[in-house]
Amino acid sequence: MSTGPDVKATVGDISNDGNLNMAQEECSRKGFCSVRHGLALILQLCNFSIYTQQMNLSIAIPAMVNNTAPPSQPNASTEWPSTDSQDYWNETLKEFKAMAPAYDWSPEIQGIILSSLNYGSFLAPIPSGYVAGIFGAKYVVGAGLFISSFLTLFIPLAANAGVALLIVLRIVQGIAQVMVLTGQYSIWVKWAPPLERSQLTTIAGSGSMLGSFIVLLVGGLLCQTIGWPYVFYIFGGIGCACCLLWFPLTYDDPVNHPFISAAEKRYIVCSLAQQDCSPGWSLPIRAMIKSLPLWAILISYFCEYWLFYTIMAYTPTYISSVLQANLRDSGILSALPFVVGCICIILGGLLADFLLSRKILRLITIRKLFTAIGVLFPSVILVSLPWVRSSHSMTMTFLVLSSAISSFCESGALVNFLDIAPRYTGFLKGLLQVFAHIAGAISPTAAGFFISQDSEFGWRNVFLLSAAVNISGLVFYLIFGRADVQDWAKEQTFTHL
């Protein structure tokens, strides 16, 4: 990983404004063909793989539990035409499905299993972010991606062995996934020019929605045809294949990249010349604890991810139980909010950078405005869901709108830590992930409790609680949020804990 003096030495030859403007104009003509945008697309694929592995159990668990019902087998076969060749195909599918076991798990047990991915995640984010910030994200992210993908292949075996082993495997898998989700942000400290920060991070982050979309789209179909274990085999295999792209094509620093053009390298290095990106071994812990802008981001992260993990874990269950959709249709309908969210994340990042580059709005105004839009409107929409449950079209419209609008948070509070302390990006992202995974461990479990107590009013209580948590975090962020580099994050003398 390049150090601060290395970058400054590089900037010494190209630091005048004329060269920066020329490099910026040349890079802008390349658009999305630049190396930094290629890196964003590779990270998008990594996030795609990680989120398919996070979501696959959510779409498979109805099949893992409900296949014990006798009517489930005829439902799978009546979808097909009654031809000789199709009869043969149906028999083949039945043989596959006969190999897929089913389990008698209560809603409480299902909630614990879904939440277990986050139980071990409290241990990994801060060390992962710190190590990635000091030594580089390439091997931290790559190792996490491989471990998570490899363990995904063994989920069916773990489920057969018992709930306890499945929970343990999911805990280890969650730790590996944290390495990917946390470590990747250290790359943008060296690769993302300030005026492109939102679009690069949102392009990479959109892989989360894209992965959720794909696994929900095809997951239900796989469960109804060849059986739920293949959901894990297929997406675990894709993640392993993704590692073959990550290691040879990714570099922690544009200065060391063998294929980047000289103009793009000059543009990136010059645009970051005024920003102290060099990581430090020591951390200003006391100053961080006293920093209200940092607490505003932490609390906002917890509140927004409370809603996110609830929706991610229970959207298939809500659609299958409330709309009475079968597994295949439930997966397709559940995928719609995520594909719209994927598109809106990228559009939101482009819009945020446009408003900033044209100096239409200040950076802090953009962060707070996008966060407010991404919190208020989805909260109102979700609270209204129980009153439109009789209309399938209105229910799906509300779910899609909620996902689309909430994606604006990705250009708001969720990326704000890059603004206030770029030199501690890895550590702060790890700290933020701790808060996010605390929410992820609590929210699905709480949702499972409410739903098991009262199937009709349980969903209403789940949405009301999520909206209340989300809006509380927004209020705190609007009051204390900042976008300028904090004093404790600048290169100066301070007292470390």
Cα angle vertex 322, ends 230, 313, to 5°?
A: 45
Residue among 228, 236, 212 at smallest CA distance from 150? 236
Q: Strand (E) positions, 101-196?
A: none
Same domain, 241 and 387: no
* Structural domains of the chain, count: 2
Assess if residue 420 is contained within a domain.
yes
Torsion angles phi and psi, residue 343, rounded to 5: -65, -40
**pLDDT at res. 348:** 93
302 and 230 within one domain: no
CA distance 470 to 302: 8
Residues 133 and 261 in one domain: yes
CA distance 59 to 313: 8
- Asked whether residue 83 is assigned to any structural domain, the reply reads no
Residues 249, 368, single domain; the answer is: no
Contact 117, 440 (CB under 8 A): yes
Does 338 lie in the same domain as 459?
Answer: yes
Please report the pLDDT score of residue 71 as a whole number: 36
241 and 356 within one domain: no
> pLDDT digit string (tens) for 19-34?
545 445 444 445 567 8
Q: How many residues does the chain have?
A: 497
Question: 293 and 164: one domain?
Answer: no
Which of 244, 275, 306 is where one domain is finished? 275
Q: How far apart are CA 420 and CA 13, in angstroms?
A: 28
**Residue spans of the chain under pLDDT 50:** 1-18, 20, 22-23, 25-29, 67-86, 88-90, 92-96, 98, 493-497
Which strand (E) or helix (H) includes residue 98? helix 84-98
Any domain includes 2: no
- 435 in a domain, yes or no? yes
Residue 121, both tokens: 């995640």
The verdict on residue 362 lying in a domain is: yes
For residues 88 and 94, give the distance between their C-alpha atoms in angstroms, rounded to a whole number.
10
Considering 248, 275, 302, which residue would you say is the last residue of a domain? Answer: 275
201 with 266, same domain: the answer is yes
pTM for this entry? 0.76
The most distant pair of C-alpha atoms in the chain lies apart, rounded to whole Å, by 80
Q: Is 79 helix (H, G, I), strand (E, B) or coil?
A: coil
* Residue 188, C-beta contacts closer than 8 angstroms, at least 6 positions apart: 197, 200, 201, 418, 425
CA distance 456 to 466: 17
Domain match, 292 and 248 both: no
Query: What is the C-alpha to C-alpha distance for residues 76 and 90, in angstroms, rounded to an integer?
Result: 9
| CB atoms near residue 203 (< 10 Å) | 23
Residue 4 lies in a domain: no
The domain boundary residue, chosen from 275, 300, 334: 275
Please say whether the dihedral angle defined by the alpha carbons of residues 343, 459, 397 and 380, taken in this order, is positive or negative: negative
Q: Which of these, 167, 175, 170, 136, lies nearest to 151 by C-alpha position? A: 170
**How much is the pLDDT for 490?**
80
365 and 330 fall within a common domain: yes
Residues 322 and 230 both lie in one domain: no
CATH of the domain at 372: 1.20.1250.20
Domain-located, residue 192: yes
> Are residues 321 and 229 part of one domain?
no
Whether 325 maps to a domain, the answer reads yes
Residue 189 near residue 422, CB atoms below 8 Å: yes
- Distance CA(257)–CA(254), nearest Å, equals 5
Range of the domain at 292: 287-496
